[in-house]
Amino acid sequence: MLPEDNGQPGDPKPRAPLDTIPLAARVVAFVEVLICSDYLTQFALGGTLAVFGFQPFVHGQLSIRYVVMLSLGDTLLLLGLILVMLYAHGERPRDVLFGRKPVVPEVVAGVPLILVALAIGIAVLLPIRRFVPGLHTVETNPLQQLLRSPRDAWLFALVVLAAGGVREEVQRAFLLHRFEVWLGGPVVGVVVTSVAFGAGHLLQGVDATFATGLLGAFWGIVYLRRRSCVAPIVSHAGFDLLQIVAFLGARKA
């Protein structure tokens, strides 16, 4: 079972019924969701990097420098946009993202959820590869090309901590908050954000898309239950880091 919070000061107050929210407010929230979906910001940053001569592939291999610049730049841009949008609505980022809760207990709560995330990934990928192998459309994860040296592994670890853990879970919390208040409720938010999260990993294969979509739903539910994105950040970052460790261990074996 997921750790459940029994309510703390700063938790969201009851909202007005969704059918009473003005159409203009819904449109604004929808535009904010699109802007913070990650697709637009990465496209804009990718174009900017191309103007300055940076390309994703060098000599046919994915460039660790490009991935680091794109991922960290997108993290800073997206977090900045989220803060601006929250303040523009008169919302306190701390209330929306952390619920005024102490960080340390949330970190502790997130540690065992790393194992839950691993279990979800295994429970999805193993049956797919056993019974529906056609969905394993990418034999080698292209991101593994980045782990060519210890330096590359450290840089990629930084990327998964900042972009995978922090950015994606702050982003998920913001998007779920927008859906909960203005765009159809938390269930709709979990479904939409999880489908989009999975689709964003299609480069890693169809089976990975299913797994990451379910993981996105898991981390979204954790946020909604705890009203803090800290535990999902810890779980997500730990999950990604363990995958790096597992890949490096397998390559040395």
Q: Is residue 31 assigned to a domain?
A: yes
Please give the pLDDT value at position 61: 78
Entry field: residues in the chain: 253
CA–CA separation, 177 and 183 (whole Å): 9
pTM (2 decimals)? 0.88
**Tokens 């949330």, located at residue:** 106
61 forms beta bridges with 58
- DSSP one-letter code for 144: G
Q: Is residue 83 assigned to a domain?
A: yes
Residue 161: name the closest of 148, 170, 151 by CA.
Answer: 170
Q: Is residue 12 assigned to a domain?
A: no
Q: Is residue 142 assigned to a domain?
A: yes
CA–CA separation, 121 and 236 (whole Å): 12
Tens digits of residue pLDDT in 147-201: 777 888 888 888 889 988 999 999 999 999 999 998 989 999 999 999 998 888 8
Structural domain that includes position 129: 20-252
Q: Is residue 5 assigned to a domain?
A: no
Q: Is residue 11 assigned to a domain?
A: no
- Number of structural domains, the chain? 1
Give the chain's mean pLDDT: 86
Q: Is residue 15 assigned to a domain?
A: no
Q: Is residue 163 assigned to a domain?
A: yes
Residue 195: name the closest of 161, 163, 220 by CA.
Answer: 220
CA–CA separation, 253 and 239 (whole Å): 21
